[in-house]
Structure 1
C-alpha cells in the first residue's frame, strides 16, 4: 500500500465546558439550582450574591440610579410572590446565542468567551432586578416554606401531651423513646422486643425484660393520646383503637361498633374485597349489620398521623407564574401574563472589588489562574440567564398553545408533543425535555409541572385529535356522576366516550382509570 497525504473536511459538535454547564443547569430543579449556586459561591471568590435591599453597584460610565425602581407585589396561593420589575427577555432562535436585557444592563453572549479577554468594567449583576420578598405589618415573611416549617409535627404534638402526664422519670423516658420511634403515619413499625433489644443489647436478657415492661406501659399511654390510633402496630390495630374510642364516647351505634370490631379481627383482605357474605358469617351478624359496620370503618382514619405530615416535602415553588389579565387578545380570547417567579431567581453578580484588583495586577504570576476563575463566574451568571430565559420562552409557548386549559380546565387540554414546541422555538426536543422536567407553573387552575401540558392525542369522529389529559378528565367526570349502586364498567366508559366522538378502546380506558387511581367497578359499588 502506497503512503500518501489527503485533506478532509468534517464538522463535529464540541461540548465546551461552558456548554456542558449550560446543559446541566438547564435540567436542574429549583432546589438543585439553589444548591449549585451555593456551591459556586463558596468556591469562586469572584462571584457574590446581591444582598437584598442593596442597590446595584454603579458600573463604569453609568450614572448612579436616581431612585429605586418600584416593586409590585401580588399574592398567589399560599406564598407571597413578587412580579419581576423587568420582563424584557428576548432571545434568538439559536441554542447558544442569547440576548437578555434588564435594568442592570445588557449582556450579549455570542457563544464562548475568549479566555484571554481582559476583564471589563461592566461585569453586570443578574437577578438584582428581582425585588426582595415583602413583609407583612408584623415584620414576618409570608412565605409558604416558613409556614410549613412552623407547622407542629406529630412528635412535637405527642411530646406536648406527654409532658402533661405525671409520670416517673423512667416511664417518661420510655414514652419519649416510643414517640421518637413512630413513623410519619403514626405507626410503631418495630416491635417492642426489637426496640428493647436495640436499646439494651442482645445479650442483656434481664435488661430487655425490664425494658419490655416499661415499653408495654408506655405503649398503653401512647395509644391513649391524640390523635386516636397513634402508636398502632398495624392497620387493624389502628382501626380497632378508633372504634373503641367511638364505643367509649357513645358516638356510634353499639351493635355496629361491635360488628366493626369483629371485622377488624378478620383478615383485612376480606374487607378490601368487600366480601360481605364471608364477613357476616365470620362475625355472626346479618349482612345488613355488616354493611353498616363496613361503612363505619370507611369513615375511620387509616393513617393517624396524616394531618401532621410534613407539608414542606410536598411544597412546590413554581418557576413560572401565569395570571389572567384584563382585556382580550387579538383572537378575541382571554389574555394571560407569563412571568418568571423572582423568588427562585438567584441574585448574582461579579465581585467588582476583586475584578478591579485583578485588572490592576496583570503581571502577577497567579494572574492567569485568577483570570480563569473570573471567567468562570461570568459564564455561570450567563448560563443561569440562559436557563431562565429558555424556561420563560417555553412557558410562553405552552400557554399560547394551551390557552383553553387556563380558561376551562383540563377538559379543554389540547394534544401537544415536545416536537411542536421545539419546532416553534427552534430548539432541540432534548432541550424542551430538560426544560419541562422538575419545573413548575402556577396557573389559575393550580400548580403543574411543565410536562403536564404535553400529551398524546386520540382520534375523533370529526378527524381531529383529543388530548389524553382531556379524556382522563372526562372519565373522572363520568365516574363522579355515576350511580354508586351501579358503577360504570370500563366498556361502558368507552361507549360513553364514543358518544362524545372520541375513539378509545376499553384497555385504554382501564389504563387511564388506573392512572387516575379510580378503583375498579366491584370496589366502587356502594355497600
Structure 2
C-alpha cells in the first residue's frame, strides 16, 4: 500500500533583490547602452536633472587624475565633456547634403519594376530578391521560398528556377548565387579574353579547391594547359567580387568609445575616466523640497520615483568608480605591455584584480566586458589583458598574447623563399624556453591571419592582425 508522507526541510538560498539584479545588469552594459538608460531616466524621472557645465575653476587642472572616491549622493557625478547634439545654423545645410543609402533589395527591385513582366513572374522574382542575404547570396532552398507567399495555383519548381535566373541576370553581377563558385561564374562575362574565360569556367566548376590552395603547377597539370595561361585565368578569377551585395550594405559603422584613457605623466602610467562617457546628472533639489513639503499617501508614486532617482545617482557613482579601480589595477600589472608591446604581456586572472579592488570575481568579469581602455598601443577591451599562463622551461609563465607576438616576429623574419612550418615555429619557440604544441601554434597563427607555409612561399605573408580570419573557405577576402 502506498503511503503519502509530508516532510518539511529548511534550506538557505541566496537570491538577489530586483534592484540588485538591475544594478548587476547596468554594470555589465557598455557605455553606449548605459548612457541610453541614463537618458531614459532623465526623461521619465522628475527628480533627476542634467547638470550644467562645470565652471572654469573646476576644470583648471587638466592633468589632475580624478579621485576614484564616490561622490556624495545628489552632488552629481562626472565632468563636462559628454557628447551633445548642438543645434547650429549650419546643421540644416549639412543634413540636406546627406543621401539615403540604397539597399540591395531596392536596387534590384528598381530593375525588376521597369521590366515588362507578368505580375505573377514579378512577384516570384521579388520573393527571391527579398530572400537574399547581405552578401547577395540565396541561402534558402528554392523549394522553401513557397512558404513566404500564397499564390494560386502554387508555383512549380521550374517557375522558381526561372525567377532565380531572372534575378541572377540583374546588376550587380553575381547576385542570387547559391555558392561562391556560382557567384564567380555569373561574373565570368567580365573577362574579355574568351580563352581565359573558358579556362576560368572549368577551374570554378572542377578545381576550385586547387585554386584556393594556389598550387598553379598542380592546377596546370590537372587542366593540361600551360602554367602561364592558368596563372592568368586564376588572376582574372581573383579580380571578381565574391560578395556582390557588400557595396549596398547599410550596416552602420560601430565606433568604440574608450571608458578609460591611459597616459604617461611624470614617468608613470596613469588611468583616467573618459569624460565623454560619464553622464552628468544630479537630484533636482527643488522638486525634492516641494515633494517633502506636500507629501502624503496620495503621492506614493512620486515617492517611488524619488527612491529610484537616488538609486540611479548612486549607481552611476559606483559604476565609474569600479571601472576606474579595475583599470588602475590592470595597469599596475601590465605596465610592460604599454612599454614593450604584446610580447611583454603578463598572465593575469580575475582573482588577482578582484583581491586588489576588493570585489567579487564576477564583478570584475562584468566590469571588463564591453569596457575599453585607450592606450598609446591602441584601444583594447579590458578583458584583453586577462589570459591564463603557459608554462616555460624555466618554470615561469608566459601569456598567450606574448606568444602570439613572438610568432608574428618569427614569421616576419623568415626567408620568403623558405617559410617556416608550424612545426619549425614551435621548435624556435622551444629554443627560447616556450614549450608550445604545434596545434597551438597553428591556432595562434590563424588568429593572426597568417597563411600556412605553403601559401607564404614566394610572396609576403598577409599582414597579421588581432582578429580572427574573415571571408570564405576559398581564400577570397
**Shorter-chain TM-score: what band?**
0.7 to 0.9
1: CA distance, partners of 2:89 / 2:124: 41
**Which runs of structure 2 are paired with 1:352-363 in the superposition (5 Å)?**
352-362=285-295
1: CA distance, partners of 2:90 / 2:270: 30
Say which SS state the counterpart of residue 380 (structure 2) adopts. strand
Say which SS state the counterpart of residue 503 (structure 1) adopts. coil
Determine the structure 2 residue equivalent to 1:45.
45
Change (3 A) 1:185 1:14: closer
Determine the structure 1 residue equivalent to 2:67.
89
Determine the structure 2 residue equivalent to 1:472.
404
2: CA distance, partners of 1:129 / 1:167: 58
The answer to whether the Cα contact below 8 Å between 1:455 and 1:468 also exists between their aligned partners in 2 is yes
Determine the structure 1 residue equivalent to 2:261.
322
Q: Residues 483-527 of structure 1, C-alpha deviation per residue, up to 9 Å, x if partnerless? A: 555432222011111333433232332332344454544555569
Determine the structure 1 residue equivalent to 2:242.
302
Determine the structure 2 residue equivalent to 1:444.
376
Change (3 A) 1:298 1:473: farther
Say which SS state the counterpart of residue 265 (structure 1) adopts. helix
Q: Following TM superposition, by how much is the alpha carbon of 1:20 offset from its aligned partner in structure 2, in angstroms? A: 4.0
The answer to whether the Cα contact below 8 Å between 2:263 and 2:376 also exists between their aligned partners in 1 is yes
1: CA distance, partners of 2:405 / 2:154: 60
Q: Following TM superposition, by how much is the alpha carbon of 1:474 offset from its aligned partner in structure 2, in angstroms? A: 1.7
Determine the structure 1 residue equivalent to 2:199.
259
Q: Residues 355-380 of structure 1, C-alpha deviation per residue, up to 9 Å, x if partnerless? A: 23320123x11355543431222112
Q: What residue ranges of structure 2 are gaps of 5+ in the alignment?
A: 1-11, 460-477
The answer to whether the Cα contact below 8 Å between 2:330 and 2:385 also exists between their aligned partners in 1 is yes
Deviation larger for 372-381 or 277-286: 277-286
**Which runs of structure 2 are paired with 1:110-149 in the superposition (5 Å)?**
123-127=74-78, 129-133=80-84, 139=90
Determine the structure 2 residue equivalent to 1:498.
430
Change (3 A) 1:293 1:328: farther
Determine the structure 1 residue equivalent to 2:473.
none
Question: Does structure 1 residue 158 correspond to structure 2 residue 107?
Answer: yes
The answer to whether the Cα contact below 8 Å between 2:168 and 2:186 also exists between their aligned partners in 1 is no
Q: Following TM superposition, by how much is the alpha carbon of 1:388 offset from its aligned partner in structure 2, in angstroms? A: 1.4
Determine the structure 2 residue equivalent to 1:187.
137
Question: Does structure 1 residue 30 correspond to structure 2 residue 28?
Answer: no
1: CA distance, partners of 2:188 / 2:159: 31
The answer to whether the Cα contact below 8 Å between 2:168 and 2:174 also exists between their aligned partners in 1 is no
Change (3 A) 1:345 1:179: farther
Deviation larger for 516-525 or 439-448: 516-525
Answer 1 or 2: which has greater strand percent. 1
Say which SS state the counterpart of residue 430 (structure 2) adopts. helix
Question: Does structure 1 residue 243 correspond to structure 2 residue 221?
Answer: no
Change (3 A) 1:126 1:328: closer
Say which SS state the counterpart of residue 90 (structure 1) adopts. coil
2: CA distance, partners of 1:192 / 1:359: 68
Determine the structure 2 residue equivalent to 1:55.
52
2: CA distance, partners of 1:200 / 1:407: 65
Say which SS state the counterpart of residue 89 (structure 1) adopts. coil
Say which SS state the counterpart of residue 297 (structure 2) adopts. coil
Match of 1:203 among 153, 159, 182: 153
Change (3 A) 1:353 1:308: farther
Q: Residues 13-60 of structure 1, C-alpha deviation per residue, up to 9 Å, x if partnerless? A: 885555444333222233443454466557x6345452xxx727xxxx
Say which SS state the counterpart of residue 303 (structure 1) adopts. coil
The answer to whether the Cα contact below 8 Å between 1:130 and 1:347 also exists between their aligned partners in 2 is no
The answer to whether the Cα contact below 8 Å between 1:413 and 1:470 also exists between their aligned partners in 2 is yes
Change (3 A) 1:481 1:186: farther
Q: Following TM superposition, by how much is the alpha carbon of 1:473 offset from its aligned partner in structure 2, in angstroms? A: 1.8
Give the aligned length: 442
2: CA distance, partners of 1:411 / 1:307: 38
Question: Does structure 1 residue 345 correspond to structure 2 residue 278?
Answer: yes
2: CA distance, partners of 1:480 / 1:138: 53
1: CA distance, partners of 2:229 / 2:446: 31
Change (3 A) 1:24 1:255: same
Q: Residues 323-380 of structure 1, C-alpha deviation per residue, up to 9 Å, x if partnerless? A: 545x541xxxxx5453333443333333445423320123x11355543431222112
Deviation larger for 197-206 or 262-271: 197-206
Q: What residue ranges of structure 1 are gaps of 5+ in the alignment?
A: 1-10, 57-64, 73-82, 92-98, 101-105, 108-122, 330-334
The answer to whether the Cα contact below 8 Å between 1:418 and 1:454 also exists between their aligned partners in 2 is yes
Question: Does structure 1 residue 427 correspond to structure 2 residue 359?
Answer: yes
Q: Following TM superposition, by how much is the alpha carbon of 1:480 offset from its aligned partner in structure 2, in angstroms? A: 4.2
1: CA distance, partners of 2:453 / 2:218: 20
TM-score, normalization by structure 2: 0.75
TM-score, normalization by structure 1: 0.68
Say which SS state the counterpart of residue 338 (structure 1) adopts. strand
Q: Following TM superposition, by how much is the alpha carbon of 1:256 offset from its aligned partner in structure 2, in angstroms? A: 4.0
CA RMSD of aligned residues (A): 4.4
Change (3 A) 1:168 1:38: farther
1: CA distance, partners of 2:349 / 2:383: 10
Deviation larger for 232-241 or 18-27: 18-27
Say which SS state the counterpart of residue 442 (structure 2) adopts. helix
Change (3 A) 1:154 1:219: same
2: CA distance, partners of 1:217 / 1:506: 50
Say which SS state the counterpart of residue 448 (structure 1) adopts. strand
Change (3 A) 1:12 1:217: closer
1: CA distance, partners of 2:245 / 2:415: 33
Change (3 A) 1:439 1:344: same
Q: Following TM superposition, by how much is the alpha carbon of 1:214 offset from its aligned partner in structure 2, in angstroms? A: 6.2
Change (3 A) 1:367 1:524: same
